[in-house]
Structure 1
Amino acid sequence: MSFTVREALELPQLKGAGILAGKSGSERTIEHVTVVDAPDAINWLRGGELVLTTAYVMREDPVALLDFVKKLAKTKAAALGIKLGRFIDNISDEIRDFADKAGFPIINIPFEVAWIDVITPVLTEVVERQASILKRSMDIHTQFIDSVISGGEMADVMRLLSSQIGSSTCVTDMKGNVIASCLKGDSKDEAEKAEWERMAKAASGQDAASEPWEMFPGMYRIAVRPSDGRAEYTLIEAQCGQDGTRWGKVLALEEPGRAFSRMDAISVSHAVTVASLEMLRIKAAENVERRFRSSFWDDFLNGRFENWEDIVKRGRSFSVDLTSPNVLLAISADGEKPGQATLIGSDGGLLQDEVIRLATQYGTRFWGAQVTCFAYMGGAAVIAPWTGACDPIEAKRRSMELARHLHSKVDAAIAPFTVSIGVGRFDSDPQKAGRSYKEAYECIVVGSSTLGSDRVSHFDELGAYRVFSRCAGRDEMERFAAEELGPLEEYDTRHNTELLFTLEKYLDAGGSLQQAADSAYVHVNTLRYRLGRIEAILGSELSDSEVRFTLSMAIRIRKYLSATR
């Protein structure tokens, strides 16, 4: 479809023209024609031009003419047309050698041929070819759009692209996982298809090297050199997405000995447009389902349903059986808060969605049954069906094994992000599943601030904090903590001291002065002085076990209130 230097020389108007040097570049594409007789005019070339010149200003400077030719080649001009016999009689051997090595055609334009007689027929051919390309491009675009409108899916888009470019194609996510593929000639050979999908996935691996594809802006040529000794191959890659967010890639296998043409590149670009629209449609549908799933789980936890049969029916539509016992876990990326939308990876996906996908995938494999996850409160609710005997001890052991497995797998997959996982207590009554999940979620909310993040914790491990969660009198707890600790907090604020911190370390150390001093990074004498100040401010003796118990409880209540605020 493109108009080449070779074809330009076949025009009747250029019958007497010939290539002086750089004949290997005769297939270079001509996109424009321009006349240049000033050396600095080269700065305004865009590439693809047939540059015409008399070389008048360089007639007495062969070095300047050589530099002019080199700059033309660097700017990717199509060719140089020069008139010999008026101002220069021939080109130097240095210019010939450079043009031959660079594959840059230098054409001798007959002295009697006017520039207009070159410009008009060449531009006419260029415009006609471009019009033909535009029409063909529109036809291709229409075919892709019709394919989707008629109910076609991603596989149909790849099948159409494969038929247009005569090669194997596929679309993948940003991690290289194949979404849909089609073999050359629409072959149904499963072994061949599996091999092609392996090759496509390898394009995202360490054996692949990519570079911009000159044929089309924004596309890349990927050379894959397998380290296992398999044959090398080349792929063309174009990314799918919208507004800077990348969702996936379209890949096409470049057959040995057959480089893709400009029209092939245009076909790929149209396939990318339609694939991006299809991905957007899929994401929109996923978001709607995500909202329905989250709404179901929220209704279940908060008792917003007419009767038990109604919620059981809704649960089945999401692969959750509420007629049998379930194990409940809560998982959340550390630092992720409800309403927050942390992005992860090159595709700009939500961290929460990635955690849900991984928990579902690894959980189901480990559990041996379908594990279901719901997006909830910035993290995920994990529901695993319990099919064993209703033994709380065994259920706790197995649920902790599941939680530790998920923690290991998910942490590794989303690094440097980390997750915390909470496990609720098992109850043989399916209707108590909501309470079990709330316990699991509390492990994350309270446990992260008291036990630390990036860990697995069971509700039983919360100790006294379990009691706090069952207390309805939050105001009373706040008053209690303020009465016991308020004087220390006020003193610390006014004098920029750490008496409350010191008290906490002392109580955590069980009254051991040396252990508390080490934990607070102070000398024992400093610790003794601080404890004396604390006793004076509170008007209490720390040697009294009841005082220590009351203060320890107040500190824990303070932490609980802070974590659940």
Structure 2
Amino acid sequence: MSITCGIMLNMPELKNDIRLLGGAKGLSNAIRWTHVLESADAIQFLVGNELTFLTGIMFEEDTDQLVSVIEQLASKQVAGLVINTGKFISKVPPKAIERANELNLPLFELPWAIRLVDVTKWICTAIVENDMEESSMSYLLEKILLSEENHYEDYLYSAEFYGYDLSKPMRIVNIEFVNLQAYADEQRHTNFINCQHQIRYLIGNILEQRSQKSLSMWKNNHFVLAVPVDLAHELEQAEAIAVAIQKGIESKMDSLTFYIGLGGYYEQIGQLKKSYTEAQLALKLAKDNAQKPYMLYRNAGIYKFLNKVTDKTVMAEFYTETLGVLLHYDAENNTKFTETLQVYLEEGENTTNTIQRLYIHRNTLQYRLRRIEEVLQQSLKNTEVKISLQIAFKIQKFLLYEGLPVEREGDPTQNGPH
């Protein structure tokens, strides 16, 4: 569990001295580290999720600047602000508290008599211990999903040491941040690793608010989680998790492009590799989903069946036998019959939608459909023919997802039919 402002507020060493003044809705903000702010100019160097401390020496008794400081800190997405009252700032003005409430930025008051060096030491010690836990659990999840070792009893014991129960049903959630490096490059005074930290804290907070203690790890630009499952509400829970993560990322890091794949749930830790494979496929399908940036594996349709076919050559053969002759015709005659057929079937044989997607005239579509039937020597009115063609196109996409070679329009292979 991340060290949040709410947890900090209730730490035994602090709870009798520190007082929350405003911004209570932000108490779930995770604290990445502490920073004592001596001047407003230093705000530009913050990278997010710091718990900032303000002695007030910069104000020289003019606290009108405090509202501006609060606004700047909120824009940097700090975890919260602790104001040291008693020497330079006798009392936090109501307008500062009001602004903190508006921005949902936790605003705390700490008496001057309490030494900041002690306070920051207590908080940073808790953060370091939490980071050690996260590092250990990331390594554990990597072993579970990517290692050939099957020391599941040891894994259960290691997780239990940190309060994780891996004996319950779980599912894998795989989130790909497509432009993470570009996003990091665009942010001033931050880098790729810091962006990963911010995302971990953001998503961790979202799940912790739902009382879901989850293992997580980074794999390049993929953030992978093992999330507990409530069997009584499994489907609703999966959808809710995806929506919550989507909204959380869009509200805090709106220029990030991301997709979410959710695997099926399994009751044994040794089966999580299956959920990981399913989440990877669901993630690829999410990229083709124009309505929303996430996909549940259980909604993957025929791709669930294709995913369980161990011999991929069987699929490739069916694809070539079904569409090969049309692919070769396109390659030899510079036509677009395969694309036309695919769009026509995807649009449920709706002529209007098809011509709009292809930007062609209705007569052109009718001509192409007649020629397609002639090339295939099959009638598109035949239900079995249409089913076979639809499956062939699904196979093409699936094989591309798997990174396997597949014959496409304008790319004939020597082994295809002529």
| TM bracket (short chain) | 0.5 to 0.7
Is residue 174–residue 260 contact of structure 2 (8 Å, CA) maintained in 1?
yes
Matched, 1:343 2:184: yes
Q: Deviations over 1:18-49 (max 9, x none)?
A: xxxxxxxxxxxxxxxxxxxxxxxxxxxxxxxx
Deviations 1:95-127 (A, max 9, x none): xxxxxxxxxxxxxxxxxxxxxxxxxxxxxxxxx
> Secondary structure of the residue that 2:265 maps to in structure 1?
coil
* d(CA) in 1 for partners of 2:255, 2:342: 31
Q: Is the 8 A contact 2:178 2:221 kept in 1?
A: no
| Aligned partner of residue 411 in structure 1, secondary structure | helix
1:555 partnered with 2:400: no
Cα distance 1:343–1:184, how it changes in 2: closer, same or farther (>3 A)? closer
What's the counterpart of residue 382 of structure 1?
Answer: 225
SS of 1:329's equivalent in the other structure is strand
Residue 523 of structure 1 corresponds to which residue in structure 2? 361
Matched, 1:396 2:235: yes
Residues 1:197 and 1:430: Cα distance change in structure 2 (over 3 Å): farther
* 2:417 aligned with 1:417: no
Give the superposition deviation at 1:360.
Answer: 1.0
Q: Which residue of 1 aligns with 2:306?
A: 468
How far the C-alpha of 1:542 sits from its partner, in A, is 1.6
Relative distance call for 1:352 and 1:545 in structure 2 (3 A) is farther
Indicate how the Cα distance of structure 1 residues 512 and 440 shifts in structure 2: closer, same or farther if over 3 A, else same. Answer: same
- Quick one: structure 1 residues 469 and 526, their matched pair in 2 at CA, closer, same or farther if it must change by over 3 Å? same
**Which sections of structure 2, spanning at least 5 residues, go unmatched?**
1-32, 58-63, 76-91, 98-123, 404-418
Across the aligned residues of Structure 1 and Structure 2, the Cα RMSD in angstroms comes to 4.1
TM-score by length of 2: 0.63
Deviations 1:344-392 (A, max 9, x none): 5223332544433321122212x12433422136311223334x4x33x
Q: How does 1:114-513 map to 2 (within 5 A)?
A: 174-175=46-47, 177-179=49-51, 181=53, 183=55, 201-204=70-73, 293-302=137-146, 304-316=148-160, 320-334=164-178, 343=184, 345-350=187-192, 351-365=195-209, 367-376=210-219, 378-386=221-229, 388=230, 390-391=231-232, 394-449=233-288, 451-452=289-290, 455-513=293-351
What letter is aligned with 2:243?
Answer: R
The structure, 1 or 2, with the larger RCO (C-alpha pairs under 8 Å, 6+ apart) is 2
Residue 408 (structure 1) shift: 1.0
Larger radius of gyration: 1
Does the C-alpha gap of structure 1 residues 377 and 319 become closer, same or farther in structure 2, counting only changes over 3 Å? farther
When normalised by structure 1's length, the TM-score is 0.48
Distance in 2 between residues matched to 1:324 and 1:432, nearest whole Å = 12
* Residue aligned with 1:343, SS: helix
Distance in 1, Cα, partners of 2:168 & 2:273: 13
Judged with a 3 Å threshold, the aligned counterparts in structure 2 of structure 1 residues 290 and 487 are, in CA distance, closer, same or farther, namely: farther
Partner of 1:221: none
Query: Deviation at 1:317?
Result: 5.6
Identical-residue share of aligned pairs (%):
21
**Alignment partners' CA distance in 1, 2:226 and 2:297:** 16
Q: Which runs of 5+ in 1 are unaligned?
A: 1-153, 186-194, 207-225, 232-278
TM-fit CA distance, 1:446: 3.0
For 1:176 and 1:227, locate their aligned partners in 2 and report how far apart those are by CA, in whole Å.
Answer: 25
Match of 1:541 in 2: 379
Higher mean C-alpha displacement, 404-413 vs 291-300: 291-300
Paired residues of 2:67 and 2:95 also in contact (CA < 8 A): no
Cα distance in 2 for partners of 1:452, 1:332 equals 16
Q: CA deviation at 1:418?
A: 2.7
Q: 1:318 deviation in Å?
A: 6.2
Cα distance in 2 for residues equivalent to 1:468 and 1:372: 29
The residue type equivalent to 1:374 in the other structure is M
Whether the 8 Å contact between 1:169 and 1:183 is mirrored in structure 2 is no
